Amino acid sequence: MKHYLAYKNQIRGLADVHETVKTVEKIAASSVHYLDQEVDHLMRYEQIVDRILKRLSHFHNEYHNPLFKNNSRGKKAALLITGDRGLTGGLWRGVFDLYETVKDQYGAVIIIGAKAKGYMREIGYHVTKEFPGISDENMDETFRDVATYCYAAFRENDFSSIDVIYPHYESLGVQHSLLTPFLPFVFTGEEGDTKDGFPLIEPSRTIVFNRLLQKYISIYFKKIITDAILSEHAARTVAMEDASTKTKSLIAEISLHYQKERHRASTQQQLESFMAHRNI
């Protein structure tokens, strides 16, 4: 039977674990609110630029932009967005499961994050290009690096198309993996209020449209990246909340064993003392 002091040491260790779990949960939860607002702002910005592009495209036919064009010479590429850390429940597993169902369609794979790197190493799959996981601190830098690489590889016909697989945020308790086309960019320019175009003279119309299009696609991609980070923090918050509940339950259970063993040891000591006095 375990000595009651061993239970006491277990309780102390679990209390430390509980404090760590609560700290991780608080950090993740504090990021969820900020990132949720960031995604909302990017979506609003995207809608504004979208309306301007539609009006421009209605007045001028600018679909010769290379970001619209598909090509048959390059490989079809999948871009997997994950992170460098765990404690996110089945979030990354969902991304890999979705990729497993479609991987035969792709001749190249680009990965973001150590989790995707580890997964690719496990299945023995060749990675075309890899980037470090995106965190709150390096998001802008990594976003620019990934976007620059994708644009260049697509324009040079290394890739015929690029699809993105990432965890999408629905709510704090719900995130699911999505596959969305990235390049060539699909922009109809036919919907909405486009009856009044912008009468720009050459070459300004092409310059304005192309620059605005690149801005729009960058916003679109940054929204995906931010959505993935938001999902990571949300999943970690829920996972740590669950871990905190289980740790508290375990502490309570071990505390009960501790009290019982302490009471048993105290009773045994009293009996031994009584027998010693009786034999004097």
pLDDT of residue 202: 53
Range with lowest mean pLDDT among 21-30, 37-46, 192-201, 241-250: 192-201
Rounded CA gap, 92 and 235, in Å? 10
What is the average pLDDT across 7-25?
70
pLDDT of residue 203: 56
What fold does the segment set 25-237 form as a domain?
Answer: Pyruvate Kinase; Chain: A, domain 1 (3.40.1380)
pLDDT of residue 53: 77
Contacting residues for 180 by C-beta, under 8 A, at least 6 apart:
163, 164, 166, 224
| DSSP classification of residue 96 | H
Q: Is the pLDDT of residue 195 over 70?
A: no
| pLDDT band at residue 85 under the 50/70/90 scheme | confident
> E strands, 49-89, where?
75-81
Domain residue spans in the chain? 25-237
pTM for the model stands at 0.76
- Please give the full DSSP string across 24-87, using - where no structure is assigned: HHHHHHHHHHHHHHHHHHHHHHHHHHHHHHHHHHHHS--TT-GGG---SSSEEEEEEE--S---
pLDDT of residue 271: 64
| pLDDT band at residue 31 under the 50/70/90 scheme | confident
Tell whether the torsion through CA atoms of 152, 153, 156 and 162 is positive or negative: negative
What is the average pLDDT across 144-169?
90
More confident residue, 66 or 37: 37
Rounded CA gap, 266 and 59, in Å? 90
| pLDDT band at residue 70 under the 50/70/90 scheme | low
Token match 């509980």: residue?
Answer: 18
Q: Is the pLDDT of residue 194 over 60?
A: no
Residue 168: strand pairing partners: 176
